[in-house]
Amino acid sequence: MVTESVPAARATRESGKQTRMALFNAATELFLEHGDSVSIAQICTAAGAHPNQVTYYYGSKEKLFVEVACAAVLRAGKRAEVDAADADTVGDYTEKLVGSLLGSGAPSVELFVEAMMMTGRRGELRDLISETLRTLHSSGETALLRTLIRTGWQLRAGIDVESKAFWSAIFGLVIQKTATGESFGYSLEEAVAVIFATLQIPDAVLNSSME
């Protein structure tokens, strides 16, 4: 009897993992396209799941939303680093980094900004946001350190502060875009200028080689 229950329990756990992932994937696609207005019913229809399974695996739609948003912004951050990897100068690197985050990565960053706003009303979700911010800041510190080593640029503040300043500027620009409904396409140069000003990158550094 015991030997028969082990495979059954394993199959149940595997089925549970598949259902949880199906809900997460469906929610990711829907939230990125429609934001928090997506209903549990829409998510479950897309995932082939039942509404009570959202509560069982995630606790609430809000927690699922925050988990999706956190994963999305981390992917956007990594994608931006890849997009900027072939830059020749610090200026080019920064432009490609910002262009990626406010271009193809904008929906993910916008989703995370919305999730941050949500946690202001849902304190139990703050740990997810805090951990994601720590990861973003840590990755930013690593990228900034590489730039410092290559260029000899002297920071005005600690590297951790500069990394936070970069992401704060990105989030601020996204909030502005969301509030106005404008596209970043026409104002990318302005967005990059804001980042340059925020980090106070000297012109001599902007033209420094990334090699």
pLDDT, tens digit only, all 211 positions of the chain: 445 565 655 556 777 889 999 999 999 999 999 999 999 999 999 999 999 999 999 999 999 999 999 999 999 999 999 998 888 888 888 888 998 998 899 999 999 999 999 987 778 889 999 999 999 999 988 888 877 777 777 777 788 888 898 999 999 888 887 777 766 554 677 788 888 888 787 777 777 777 6
pLDDT of residue 123: 80
- At 205 the pLDDT is 76
- Burial (CB count <10 Å: 0-12, 13-18, 19+), residue 95: buried
Q: Hey, which residues does 209 pair with through a beta bridge?
A: 89
The answer to whether residues 51 and 40 touch, using CB atoms and an 8 Å cutoff, is yes
Greatest CA span in the chain, whole angstroms?
75
Q: Do 51 and 58 form a contact (C-beta atoms < 8 A)?
A: no
Residues 66-207: name the CATH superfamily: Tetracycline Repressor, domain 2 (1.10.357.10)
The domains of the chain are located at 1-59, 66-207
Separation of CA 62 from chain center = 17
Cβ pair 72, 36 in contact under 8 A: no
Place of tokens 């000899």: 152
- The domain 1-59: what is its CATH number? 1.10.10.60
Q: What is the pTM of this model?
A: 0.85
Q: Do 140 and 159 touch, CB atoms closer than 8 A?
A: no
Nearest to 69 by CA among 105, 94, 40, 103: 105
On whether the CB atoms of residues 194 and 169 are closer than 8 A, the answer is yes
Distance CA 86, CA 88 (A): 6
